[in-house]
Structure 1
Amino acid sequence: MKYYYDPQNRLPYKKRLRNRCIAIAIFVAACALIGSCIFKNDEKATQPRGFVVNGNYLTAESKESIKDTLRVDSSIIDSLKEAHRAIKLKDTLTESAAKSLIIGDARATTEAAPEASNSAAIDTAGTSIPENDPVDSVHIKNQKDVFLAQKIDNMLRRFKPMYGVVLVVDPKSNEIIAWGETKDYKVQNEPDFFVKNTFPAASLAKTITIAAAMDANRYSLNTPVPMLGASHTLYKRQLRVPENYHGTTISLADAYAKSANPPLALIGMEIGAKRLREAARNLGYNMNFPGGIPGKSSYAPPDTGYGLAEASCGFTEATTLTPLLAAAQVRSILTKKPLEIPWAENIAPYAPKSRIALDVKKFNENTYYGLRMAMIRSITNGTARKQISTRNMARKNFAALDIGGKTGSLDGQDPHGRYEWFMGFAQSKENPDKAVVVVVMQVHDLQGYRSQPATQVAAMIMNYWAHQNLWPQK
Structure 2
Amino acid sequence: MRKKSNIFFIFIFVLITSCNRLPKDDLFKEYLYIKTHNDLENTTINENIQKDVSLVLKNHKVPYGVVIVSDVRDGRILAIEEYSRRGYDVGKYINKPLQAASIFKIVTFFASLSSNLYNSRDTIKYYDRMYSELGNYLKRRQSTKVYSKTTIKEAMAFSNNSAFAEISLKLKKDKIIESAKRLFFTGEKIRGIKTGFIELPEDSSSLIKLASGLEHSYMSPLHALLIIMTVGNDGKLVLPYINKNDSKKSLNVMKNFIANEIMKSLSLTTRIGTAKKHFSKRPEISSRTYAKTGSLYANDPDGYYNWFVGIYDGDKSRYGIVVLTVNDPKWSVKANYIAFKTIEFIKKYEEN
Quick check: TM above 0.5?
yes
Deviations 1:92-138 (A, max 9, x none): xxxxxxxxxxxxxxxxxxxxxxxxxxxxxxxxxxxxxxxxxxxx996
**Which is bigger in relative contact order (C-alpha 8 A, separation at least 6)?**
2
The alignment status of 1:466 with 2:347, answered yes or no, reads yes
- The Cα shift of 1:309 comes to 0.7
Tell me what 1:128 maps to. none
The alignment status of 1:194 with 2:101, answered yes or no, reads no
1-side partners of 2:322 and 2:131: how far apart?
22
Q: 1:222 aligns with which of 111, 121, 134?
A: 121
2-side partners of 1:266 and 1:255: how far apart?
11
2-side partners of 1:208 and 1:377: how far apart?
18
Is the 2:234–2:257 Cα contact (8 Å) retained in structure 1? no
Tell me what 1:328 maps to. 226
Larger radius of gyration: 1
The alignment status of 1:307 with 2:198, answered yes or no, reads no
Is the 1:273–1:301 Cα contact (8 Å) retained in structure 2? no
- The Cα shift of 1:167 comes to 0.6
2-side partners of 1:356 and 1:193: how far apart?
25
Distance 1:225 1:234, change over 3 A: farther
- The Cα shift of 1:236 comes to 4.2
The alignment status of 1:155 with 2:155, answered yes or no, reads no
Q: Please give the secondary structure, in 2, of the residue aligned with 1:230.
A: coil
Q: Please give the secondary structure, in 1, of the residue aligned with 2:214.
A: coil
Q: Please give the secondary structure, in 1, of the residue aligned with 2:201.
A: coil
Q: 1:294 aligns with which of 185, 188, 193?
A: 193
2-side partners of 1:265 and 1:469: how far apart?
40
Q: Which has the higher helix share?
A: 1
Q: 2:77 aligns with which of 167, 176, 181?
A: 176
Q: 1:370 aligns with which of 257, 261, 267?
A: 261
Deviations 1:444-469 (A, max 9, x none): 123xx321210011001101211233
1-side partners of 2:194 and 2:181: how far apart?
14
Distance 1:456 1:203, change over 3 A: same
Q: Which has the higher strand share?
A: 2
2-side partners of 1:460 and 1:258: how far apart?
21
Q: Please give the secondary structure, in 2, of the residue aligned with 1:164.
A: strand
Tell me what 1:398 maps to. 285
2-side partners of 1:416 and 1:332: how far apart?
29
1-side partners of 2:136 and 2:125: how far apart?
13
Distance 1:340 1:469, change over 3 A: closer
Counterpart residue type for residue 457 of structure 1: I
Is the 1:420–1:443 Cα contact (8 Å) retained in structure 2? yes
Uncovered stretches (5+) of structure 2, i.e. residues with no partner: 1-34
- The Cα shift of 1:383 comes to 0.6
2-side partners of 1:137 and 1:235: how far apart?
44
Q: Please give the secondary structure, in 1, of the residue aligned with 2:99.
A: coil
Is the 2:134–2:209 Cα contact (8 Å) retained in structure 1? no
2-side partners of 1:209 and 1:138: how far apart?
40
Is the 1:205–1:312 Cα contact (8 Å) retained in structure 2? yes
The alignment status of 1:253 with 2:157, answered yes or no, reads no
CA RMSD of aligned residues (A): 2.6
Is the 1:281–1:287 Cα contact (8 Å) retained in structure 2? no
Counterpart residue type for residue 455 of structure 1: N
| Aligned residue-pair number | 315
Q: Please give the secondary structure, in 2, of the residue aligned with 1:315.
A: coil
Is the 1:285–1:299 Cα contact (8 Å) retained in structure 2? yes
Uncovered stretches (5+) of structure 1, i.e. residues with no partner: 1-135, 347-351
Distance 1:178 1:187, change over 3 A: farther
- The Cα shift of 1:222 comes to 2.2
Distance 1:415 1:319, change over 3 A: same
Distance 1:244 1:261, change over 3 A: closer
Q: TM-score, normalised by structure 1?
A: 0.61
Q: Please give the secondary structure, in 2, of the residue aligned with 1:378.
A: coil
1-side partners of 2:341 and 2:253: how far apart?
32
Counterpart residue type for residue 233 of structure 2: T
The alignment status of 1:238 with 2:137, answered yes or no, reads yes
Is the 1:345–1:354 Cα contact (8 Å) retained in structure 2? no
- The Cα shift of 1:283 comes to 1.0
1-side partners of 2:226 and 2:53: how far apart?
20
Is the 1:330–1:423 Cα contact (8 Å) retained in structure 2? yes
Deviations 1:134-187 (A, max 9, x none): xx9963755610011110111111011101111111112112111111233459
> Is the deviation greater in 199-208 or in 293-302?
293-302
Is the 2:325–2:333 Cα contact (8 Å) retained in structure 1? no
Q: Please give the secondary structure, in 2, of the residue aligned with 1:370.
A: helix
Tell me what 2:298 maps to. 412
Deviations 1:354-393 (A, max 9, x none): 44455xx532333212110111121122111111231xx4
Q: 1:386 aligns with which of 274, 277, 302?
A: 277
Q: Please give the secondary structure, in 1, of the residue aligned with 2:133.
A: coil
Distance 1:218 1:160, change over 3 A: same
2-side partners of 1:367 and 1:150: how far apart?
36
- Give % identity: 21
Q: Please give the secondary structure, in 1, of the residue aligned with 2:96.
A: coil
- The Cα shift of 1:398 comes to 2.4
1-side partners of 2:274 and 2:49: how far apart?
26
2-side partners of 1:387 and 1:337: how far apart?
28
2-side partners of 1:235 and 1:441: how far apart?
25
Q: Superposed, which structure 2 residues align to 1:266-281 within 5 Å?
A: 266-281=166-181
Q: Superposed, which structure 2 residues align to 1:332-343 within 5 Å?
A: 332-343=230-241
The alignment status of 1:445 with 2:328, answered yes or no, reads yes
Q: 2:319 aligns with which of 422, 436, 440?
A: 436
Q: Superposed, which structure 2 residues align to 1:55-70 within 5 Å?
A: none
The alignment status of 1:211 with 2:110, answered yes or no, reads yes
- The Cα shift of 1:418 comes to 1.1
